[in-house]
Amino acid sequence: LDALAALIVRMHLTGFSWGDCSLSNTLFRRDAGAFAAYLVDAETGNLYPKLSEGQRSEDIEILRLNIFGECLDLEAAELLHEAIDPEAVVDDIVARYERLWHEVTYEQEVPRDARHDIEGRIRRLNELGFDVAEVDLSTVDGGYRVRPKVVDAGYHTRRLLRLTGLDAEENQARQLLNDLDAYRAESDLVDEQQAAHRWLTEVFEPVVRAVPANLRRKLEPQEIFSQIIQHKWLLSERAGRDVGMAPAVQSYLTDVLAHKPDEQAVLGVEVSAL
């Protein structure tokens, strides 16, 4: 649901009105245990310099009707879990969208000497995956009205690609960068590019090579590494200490990855036939 909400926010920020938002028109890809969403049918879409509130609201209302109808179809076909309420699903998606839209667009008033508040706002947006091109400041009594100019999501994806050459989804990139930054701090490396190169050759690539050939079709390398990071954290929490990467890798391969279906089995077609 977060992935779909983020997709619509990204489109609306660029002035794109989808016109037919639905689950069937959305492609979902794995992203560090979550999902990333992509538009796959833009036939009904229109691009404007900026969306009005009415255009934005119309898009959300279409989303509400379409996804509610799709959930009812799944329910009628007995493919929807009985605990899932179609109306609650739609309300949840809309609520997530509105919260994210507010975070990336609202104007914030800060005191004149509160530069850290502005920096904090930019950091929160970066954590959500959005780049900030510039910050608009207007003077108000006792301070400033701040509105960051947010550009398309992909902050972590672009940073990871620039540093390592790895192409990953946003959540994957965030986790890989966190691991890279931790490695850099532990290694006491000042130069970011040097740290990225060493992390790639000493951490990421050895982990990927450790995956047996018969398990490599189950998930993409970046997703495997992201899940191993999460698995290592869980093991360390249980043990009350850092268990180390090698034991975490072996545990993940044996206890988790070996039991996952191949990606092509999930798709239902042979990859060679695509």
pLDDT tens for the 274 residues of the chain, in order: 778 888 888 889 888 998 888 888 887 777 656 677 778 877 888 899 989 989 999 999 999 999 999 889 888 888 888 888 988 999 988 998 888 888 878 777 777 665 567 667 777 776 676 666 556 667 777 777 777 666 556 778 888 998 999 988 887 888 898 888 888 877 878 888 899 999 999 999 999 999 998 888 888 898 899 999 889 888 988 888 888 889 999 999 999 998 887 765 444 445 455 4
Using alpha carbons, select from 147, 157, 97 the residue that is nearest to residue 122.
147
For residue 111 the two structure tokens come to 């005191």
Q: Three-class SS of residue 260? A: coil
Closest CA to 224 of 31, 27, 3, 37: 31
Tokens 């050459």 map to which residue?
165
Side-chain half-sphere CA neighbours of 245 within 13 A: 14
List all residues 6 or more positions away from 173 whose beta carbon is below 8 Å from its beta carbon. Answer: 156, 157, 159, 160, 161, 166, 222
Secondary structure tally for the chain: helices H, strands E: 11, 7
- Start-to-end CA span in the chain (Å): 28
pLDDT at position 272 is: 52
**pLDDT at 197 (0 to 100):** 93
> Quick one: 209 exposed, middle or buried, by C-beta within 10 A (0-12, 13-18, 19+)?
exposed
